[in-house]
Structure formats: C-alpha cells, structure tokens
Amino acid sequence: MRIPLWRATLLVAMKELRTGSRDRQTVVYAVVLPLCLYPLVLWCLLQGSLFVQGRAERTEVQVGLAAEAPDELPPGLVLALMGPRAAGDETDGPLSVAAAPGGMTADEARAWFERGGRNAPAGLDAVLWIPARGAPGAAGARMFFDATSERSKLARDRLTPRLAAFARELRLGELEGRGLAPDALVPFGIEVADVAAPRDLLGTALSLVLPMLLVMMSVMGAFFPAVDLTAGEKERHSAETTLLLPVPRLAVHQGKILAVCLSAMIATTLNLLALGLSIGHLLEIIGGDAGPKLHEFPFLSLVAVSPLAVLFAFFVSAVLTGVASLTRSFKEGQALLGPVQMGFLIPALTGLIPGLRLTLPLACVPVVNVVLAFRAILQGEHLPAEYAVCALSLLLYGLLATRLAVFVLSRENAQFERISLRKLPSLLRSPSHAK
Amino acid sequence: MQSDPPASLPEPTPTPVPAIRARGLTKVYTRGRAETVRALRGLDLECRPGEIYGLLGPNGAGKTTTLRILSTILRPTAGTAEVAGVDVGADPLEARRRIGFLSGTTGLYPRLTGRETLTYFGRLNGFSGGELEARVEAMIAAFDMAAFADRRCGALSTGQRQRVSIARAVLHGPEVLILDEPTTGLDILAAGTMIDFVESRREAGTCVLFSTHVLSEAERLCDRIGVLFDGRLLASGTYDELARATGERWLEDIFRTLVRTGTDG
C-alpha cells in the first residue's frame, strides 16, 4: 500500500527529528543554548556590573586643591568635597583632598597634576583650581583630569556633583544674606516628563537587539541539523539506505528540510521564551519600584513576530540544507556553512542602523526585510502592507530555496561526490535520482 | 540467525515474468567538463524467480553500478531495466517496493534502535497498527534479535548490525533481493550468517542477485553466474556451462580465462 506524499514527508521529518534529538551537538545548539544563553549572559553581566560598581565604590580617589590665592578659599570647601553625597548616588565614594603648596596659576596647577602632585601623599587623580576673587579675566574654577585613567574619571565624577552642591549652598547663603528668596534668580523652572509607557520603552530597547538575535538563533538552530541530515548521513553511510526508502524522493528531501525547519523553530521559540523571562525578570530587579515590571514586558510583540520567524526559519533551513548537501562529511559541511551563516548574520546588522525603516522595496530584500519587520513590530509600528510583502517574499524565497535544495539533493553527483565550486557545472549536468 | 528459512518470514508472490531483466544498460559518469567514465556498455541480464544469480567481476567492472541501477539509486544513461515486471525508470517507487537491497555501504541509522529501524521502514512500506507490529516482531524473532532490538544500531556489533540490515531489507517481503558484496568486511561468523540467509531465500522462491569477489561463495550459492568486465557481461550460465565454454575446471580459472578473453577482445 502506498502512503500519501504528505504522510511520507511527515514520517521522514519525525524520524529525522527523533535522531536529531539524540545528537548531542544538535540538542546543545537547538535547545540548551537558546534556553540558557540569556539567563547566563544576563547573570554574568549583572554580576560583572555589581563587581565593577562595588570596586569603584571602595576605591578612594585623591584630588589636589590648588588656588591662586589660598587665603581666599571659601570656608567649608574641603569638607564639602570630602563629605559623602546623598545615599544611593552611584558616584558616591571616598575622596581625599591634598592641598597645593602655596598659590598657583591655572597653568601651574595643571603642571602640578601632570607631575603627579609633588608633596601629595599619593598620586593625584584630579586637580581642582580656584582663581583669585576678582582677578582680571577670572573664568571660574577649573578641574584637570585624565580621560584615559579610570581613577581620574572616577575622581571627576565624584568631584563634579559635590562642587555643584557646594556652589548651590554658597548661592543660597548669599541670597539669604541679602534677604532674597531662594528662587529669586530662577525665572521659571523646567520639568521634563517622559510619557512613554514602560512597556513601550521595553519594546524599543528590545527592538535594537532582538531582530539580530532572532536571525542568529534561527541560523544556529538550523545549522547542525542541516549538516547532520545531509553530509552527516553520507559520513555515516546511511545515505544510500535513505535512497532505498519506498516513498517518493521528494518526500524524503521535503522531510529533511521540514525537520531542519522544525529544529530552527524550536531554537527560536525557546530563545524567545528565555529572552522574555530573563530580561523581564532582570528589569524588575534592577528597575526597583519605579522601573518596568515583568507583566509589562511586551510578550504580545514576541507573539506577533512569530509568523515571520516561522517563515524565516523555513527559508534558512532550505538554504542551509541545500548548501550542506553539496558536502560529504560533517567537517566539510561545517566549513562550507560557516560563510553561508555569515551571509545571514551580516545583513542582520541592518537592525542596528538607527532610522532605517521597513519600506516596500526593503520588504523584498531577504534577511534585511525580516530584521526590519521584527524591529517595526517590536516598536509597535502598524505597517500592514510592508509586513504582508515581507511575509510573501519570505515564503517565495523559502519555496525557491526548497526547490533548489531538492534539486541539489536529487543529483547523483551530490550523493556520491563532494561538489566544489569548480564542479558546480557538472552538478547541473548530473542526472537526478529516480523519483 | 537460524540457517533454515524461518517460517515467519514474509513470502514473496511468484511472478511469471523474469525477476530481473536488463536490456542495453549503459551508464556514463561525468566528472568535470571533459572527463567521462563508461561504467556500463549495453549490459543485458536476466534472472529468474527463485534463482540465485552471482555477478562476478574485478574492481571497476560495473557490478555496483548495475545493482544500483536495478535498485533505483542510479539512473541509467541508456537502456531499460525491469524488476519483477516493473520498469525501474518508469516506476522507480514500485520497483523499490519489490526489492530488498543490501550492500556494504547501506548503513543503518546509528541513532535508531533495531526495532525503531524496522518500524520506520514498515511504516513507509504502508504497514500500520497490528500488522506493522506483528511484522516487526516476526523479524525480531526470525533473526534472533530480541536481545539487542532495543539498543541503538550505532552500539551494535558488526554481526548484530548485519542481522538488523537483513531484517530491514526483507521486512516487506520483496520478490527480488539485490546484494552488493554482502560479506565484504564481515568476520567468518557474520559472513556465514549472510550465506545461510541467501540459501534460505532460494527455498523461499526469492530471486537473489548478488555481486561478490569471493569465488567460493559464488560456487557454493549460485544457480547461475555472470562474469562482468569493463561494463559488459562476458558470459552467463551455470557453473557447468561456463566450465564447458572455457575448458577450465575451477571457477577461479574460468573467471581468469573469461577476463583474459575480455581484455584481449
């Protein structure tokens, strides 16, 4: 009894998925990596930033205080610079002050900093210079720091707000002394309000990185199954056995592509799931009460990109399977698919170009179209015509790639020889297997 | 595996037409722009139902190409071939359903167990439900595979793999068995298993076409022998007919004489 083509295709695909699930490399790239990548990367980032922040908070910086006229330095300045700022300020941390020996001009203060602060107990990380009161051409205090030194930048970051707070205190004291209101010199206040909902902010942030990650995961999920089901099968000497299956060869080839596609889709779905949960959870941790909440994570946007993600997985699978079938061993397959993989990843970088939007012509460019469409969907843009063209073109490219893959898989040469670029013309002349 | 034909093996339906018939079979391989290799040059071959036919020939004579064409793995450049009355070019799918093919290069799927392999081939042959299960169990019993049927094929010994391969090839009760150097690479015990199996098929009425380098195998098993050289069938007949035609007594000498004639001619 003959079985229908669709059933034969499904049976082959299920068998390939079953054997793939027993291959360590395929499981790692299609399941383990997509599930663990984000939690692992985000945990490392969090731990890393906490470590760096903790180290910075414990680091004591030394600032040299130079003045044109040391006697005129405002009282309380040194204490204000050394004292801790408000709790929770990321720039908070120990700061010591070393006074310059005698009066100095601005150039002398700079030279003092560049020499490392002679007479200072340790090397100076920055120098604050205060001009003489009423000196001709006095332009206010100057701070010298070295942007190539992390310690110097830390000193700048700690010094700047403390100095501003001290100046504000002086100004308020002066106003009070003259009987003026604290806001007498402020004609109007400015309050900046961001009306973007946390959900939209998350969507925008995700739209920068997620499209490229989706492309990467699809390619990664399809890579090993594509090599395993073609070159790997030849290497294991089971390719001839597959040719003997009592079903149309088309069903066999379609079944293989379907299995690769399902593997890519599993990788993408697990990846989206892991991304949603880990980033949402992370934002809740670092955002505190005011930050976005897990329930505000744009899960619906992730669902909305799914149809395009499926079509893209189909396209990627057909291309990778077709190319991998030109090779005869796993090693050859991996070597050949490496550059092809880059052919998907490099256009995916367009998702990082600011201002580039999905237009009808761009919706026809493979890879670029799906990246820009992912981005637009995550940003909540409504571009129905562009999305439709993108979906149709992906379907068309997928079918075309499937046709090409089936053509290559059906050639006798591709089955029994390694096809180098030089041999491609002979592949075209090679007869196909019997159906 | 038992040397007697197991009663539970599916029996083929006898066909009135020749089990295998090839006419003017030609195969040209194209490698690169100018390089072509003529593997077969108008081969004519006929095997009867229930007959064991041995195809002998040196390396590169065209044995594997012939068997691959008959099993629809390759397409002939010219000529026709029929298996159990089915034209392999016109209806390759039906031809594949009527043959069982086994060679040194038809490996098993190493990540499937023996039982899964048989079930997979059974399903693709259109069996399902209880019938499929019964057939798989019959194969496991017939080839004494119960102890390792649920182990992955990649972890089986050569002899165990050989049994799974044979079971895979005969699961659907093919009318024709095509075996390409089936004992190559096997140890004495596994090769013995294969020889017993081929003998058992004669009694079951299956046509067996097999190629071999081992002349003693051909001498022991074959009803008729064909000597292939440079893509042409130099001679075909029973052992006695070939001995008479060449004036030689031993198969090794018969073979050498025929090949020498082919080289000179």
Report DSSP letters for A224-236, one per residue.
HHHHHHTHHHHHT
Residue A62, both tokens: 């030394």
Confidence at residue A428, expressed as pLDDT on a 0 to 100 scale:
65
Rounded to 10 deg, the angle between the A306-324 and A198-229 helix axes is 20
Q: How close A274 gets to chain B, by Cα (Å)?
A: 29
The dihedral built from the CA positions of residue B182, A327, A26 and A5, taken in this order, carries a sign that is negative
Does A78 have pLDDT greater than 90? no
- Beta carbons within 8 Å of B128's beta carbon, 6+ residues apart: none
Confidence at residue A418, expressed as pLDDT on a 0 to 100 scale:
63
Q: How close B263 gets to chain A, by Cα (Å)?
A: 28
Confidence at residue B2, expressed as pLDDT on a 0 to 100 scale:
41
Task: Please choose, from the candidates A278, A252, A238, A258, the residue with its C-alpha nearest in 3D space to the C-alpha of residue A37.
Answer: A278
More confident: B124 or A57: B124
Mean pLDDT for chain B overall: 87
Pair B96, B72: CB distance under 8 Å: yes
Beta bridge partners of B45: B22
Is A246–B103 a contact, with Cβ atoms under 8 angstroms apart?
no
SS (H, E, C) A173-225: HHHHHCCCCCCCCCCCCCCCCCCCCHHHHHHHHHHHHHHHHHHHHHHHHHHHH
Task: Please choose, from the candidates A365, A196, A396, the residue with its C-alpha nearest in 3D space to the C-alpha of residue A373.
Answer: A365
Q: Is B173 on the interface with A (CB under 8 A)?
A: no
Residue A397, both tokens: 């490219």
Helix (H, G, I), strand (E, B), or coil: what is residue A264?
helix
Buried b (16+ CB within 10 A) or exposed e, A21-46: eebebbeebbbebbbebbbeebeeee
Provide mean pLDDT across the span B225-247. Answer: 90
Is A241–B89 a contact, with Cβ atoms under 8 angstroms apart?
no
Provide mean pLDDT across the span B9-25. Answer: 74
**How many Cβ pairs within 8 Å bridge chains A and B?**
97
Phi-psi region of A128 (alpha: psi -120 to 50; beta: other; left: phi over 0): beta
Is A247–B93 a contact, with Cβ atoms under 8 angstroms apart?
yes
Is B111–A426 a contact, with Cβ atoms under 8 angstroms apart?
no
Is residue B5 very low, low, confident or very high in pLDDT (cuts 50, 70, 90)? Answer: very low
Helix (H, G, I), strand (E, B), or coil: what is residue A127?
strand
Output DSSP code: residue A265. H
Confidence at residue B100, expressed as pLDDT on a 0 to 100 scale:
94
DSSP A3-70: --HHHHHHHHHHHHHHHHTT-HHHHIIIIIHHHHHHHHHHHHHHHHHHHHHHHHHH--EEEEEEESSG
Is B75–A238 a contact, with Cβ atoms under 8 angstroms apart?
no
Q: Is B260 on the interface with A (CB under 8 A)?
A: no
Q: Which of residues 193-232 of B touch A (CB under 8 A)?
A: none
- Residues from chain B that touch A241, judged by Cβ atoms under 8 A, are 106-109, 168
For A249-261, write each residue's pLDDT tens digit.
Answer: 889 999 999 999 9
Cα A377 to Cα A292: distance, rounded to the nearest angstrom: 20
Cα A72 to Cα A66: distance, rounded to the nearest angstrom: 11
Task: Please choose, from the candidates A245, A387, A201, the residue with its C-alpha nearest in 3D space to the C-alpha of residue A312.
Answer: A387
Is B32–A423 a contact, with Cβ atoms under 8 angstroms apart?
yes
Label residue A71 exposed, middle or buried (CB < 10 Å: 0-12, 13-18, 19+): exposed
Is A236–B123 a contact, with Cβ atoms under 8 angstroms apart?
no
Q: How close B20 gets to chain A, by Cα (Å)?
A: 17
Q: How close A428 gets to chain B, by Cα (Å)?
A: 11
Cα A254 to Cα A16: distance, rounded to the nearest angstrom: 11
Q: Pick from A3, A240, A433: which is nearest to B75 by CB? A: A433
Confidence at residue A262, expressed as pLDDT on a 0 to 100 scale:
93
Helix and strand numbers (H, E) in chain A are: 17, 4
List the single range of A291-300, B34-43, B117-126 with lowest mean pLDDT: A291-300
Q: Pick from B32, B89, B101: which is nearest to A426 by CB? A: B32
φ and ψ at residue B211, rounded to 5 degrees: -105, 150
Helix (H, G, I), strand (E, B), or coil: what is residue A130?
strand
Q: Pick from B101, B107, B152: which is nearest to A238 by CB? A: B107
For B167-224, write each residue's pLDDT tens digit.
Answer: 999 999 999 999 988 887 778 887 888 888 888 888 888 999 999 888 888 888 899 9
Is residue B3 very low, low, confident or very high in pLDDT (cuts 50, 70, 90)? Answer: very low
Q: Pick from B30, B74, B96: which is nearest to A429 by CB? A: B30
For A83-117, write each residue's pLDDT tens digit.
Answer: 765 555 555 788 888 888 888 888 888 988 888 76
For A19-30, write each residue's pLDDT tens digit.
Answer: 999 988 888 888
Task: Please choose, from the candidates A96, A131, A99, the residue with its C-alpha nearest in 3D space to the C-alpha of residue A112.
Answer: A99
Task: Please choose, from the candidates A322, A408, A425, the residue with its C-alpha nearest in 3D space to the C-alpha of residue B30.
Answer: A425
- Residues from chain A that touch B126, judged by Cβ atoms under 8 A, are 1-3, 246
Cα B10 to Cα A433: distance, rounded to the nearest angstrom: 29
Is A3–B110 a contact, with Cβ atoms under 8 angstroms apart?
no
Cα B218 to Cα A118, A261, A310, A377, B188, distances in angstroms: 101, 48, 56, 70, 16
Cα B9 to Cα B134: distance, rounded to the nearest angstrom: 11
SS (H, E, C) chain B: CCCCCCCCCCCCCCCCCCCEEEEEEEEEEEECCCEEEEEEEEEEEEECCCCEEEEECCCCCCHHHHHHHHCCCCCCCEEEEEECCEECCCCHHHHHHHEEEEECCCCCCCCCEHHHHHHHHHHHCCCCHHHHHHHHHHHHHHCCCCCCCCCEHHHCCHHHHHHHHHHHHHCCCCCEEEEECCCCCCCHHHHHHHHHHHHHHHHHCCEEEEEECCHHHHHHHCCEEEEEECCEEEEEECHHHHHHHHCCCCHHHHHHHHHHHHHHC
Rounded percentage of chain A residues whose pLDDT exceeds 70: 85
Q: Is B117 on the interface with A (CB under 8 A)?
A: no
Provide mean pLDDT across the span A190-212. Answer: 78
Confidence at residue B1, expressed as pLDDT on a 0 to 100 scale:
43
Confidence at residue B185, expressed as pLDDT on a 0 to 100 scale:
75
For A372-423, write each residue's pLDDT tens digit.
Answer: 998 898 888 889 999 999 999 999 999 999 988 888 888 877 766 666 666 6
Does A276 have pLDDT greater than 80? no
Provide mean pLDDT across the span A300-323. Answer: 89
More confident: A284 or B112: B112
Does A182 have pLDDT greater than 60? yes
Q: Pick from A3, A422, A423: which is nearest to B124 by CB? A: A3
Rounded percentage of chain B residues whose pLDDT exceeds 70: 91
Q: How close A336 gets to chain B, by Cα (Å)?
A: 20
| Chain B interface, best mutation among A11, A15, A249, A254, by max B CB count within 10 A | A15
Provide mean pLDDT across the span A117-145. Answer: 77
Token pair 């985000």 is found at A42
| Chain A interface, best mutation among B36, B96, B108, B170, by max A CB count within 10 A | B96
Residue B234, both tokens: 């130099």
Does B50 have pLDDT greater than 50? yes
Beta bridge partners of B29: B37
Mean pLDDT for chain A overall: 83
Provide mean pLDDT across the span A157-171. Answer: 87
Cα A73 to Cα A63: distance, rounded to the nearest angstrom: 16
**Maximum mean pLDDT: which of A187-191, A343-347, B27-31, B116-120:** B116-120
Cα A221 to Cα A33, A277, A327, distances in angstroms: 9, 20, 19
Is residue B261 very low, low, confident or very high in pLDDT (cuts 50, 70, 90)? Answer: confident
Does B248 have pLDDT greater than 50? yes
**Would you say how long chain A is, in residues?**
435
Does B125 have pLDDT greater than 90? yes
Rounded percentage of chain B residues whose pLDDT exceeds 90: 51
Q: Pick from A2, A247, A425: which is nearest to B33 by CB? A: A425
Is A8–B97 a contact, with Cβ atoms under 8 angstroms apart?
no
Residue A377, both tokens: 């969907």
Residue B176, both tokens: 């024709």
Interface of A with B (CB under 8 A): 1-3, 8, 11-12, 15, 18-19, 22-23, 236-238, 240-241, 243-248, 412, 417, 422-423, 425-426, 429-435
- Beta carbons within 8 Å of A361's beta carbon, 6+ residues apart: none
ipTM: 0.85
Q: How close B258 gets to chain A, by Cα (Å)?
A: 31
Token pair 């610079």 is found at A81
Cα A89 to Cα B90: distance, rounded to the nearest angstrom: 82
Provide mean pLDDT across the span A48-55. Answer: 81
Provide mean pLDDT across the span A171-178. Answer: 88
Task: Determine how β-strand B20-31 pairs with β-strand A142-145.
Answer: unpaired
Is A3–B88 a contact, with Cβ atoms under 8 angstroms apart?
no
Token pair 């539970």 is found at B8
Closest residue of chain B to A19, computed from CA coordinates? B111
Does B7 have pLDDT greater than 50? no
pTM (2 d.p.): 0.78
Q: Which helix (H) or strand (E) holds A97?
A: strand A95-99
List the single range of A49-53, A247-251, A307-311, B72-76 with lowest mean pLDDT: A49-53
More confident: B60 or A295: B60
The CB-side HSE value for A357 (13 A sphere, CA atoms) comes to 9
More confident: A8 or A269: A8
Provide mean pLDDT across the span A232-251. Answer: 89
Closest residue of chain B to A431, computed from CA coordinates? B75
